[in-house]
Structure 1
Amino acid sequence: MELKEFIKEAIKDISEAIDETNIELSELGVISNPSVVSVDDRDDIYGHMYLNSDSDKTTRPVHLLKFDIAVSATKKDNGKEGIGVKALGISLNKNGENSEELNNSSRLKFNLPIAFPTGKK
Structure 2
Amino acid sequence: MDLKEFIIETISGIVDATDQLQTSYEPTGTIINPPVSNSERDLYEEGSSKHRYRRVEVVEFDVAVSAASETGAGGKVGIKILSIEAGADGNHSRKNEEASRVRFSIPIALKPSSAEAANKEASKKRRRSANEMANNYK
Q: Per residue, is there more strand in 1 or in 2?
A: 1
Higher relative contact order (CA 8 A, sep 6+): 2
TM-score bucket of the superposed structures, by smaller chain: 0.3 to 0.5
More helix by proportion, 1 or 2? Answer: 2
Normalised by the length of structure 2, the TM-score is 0.33
Report the TM-score when normalising by structure 1: 0.37
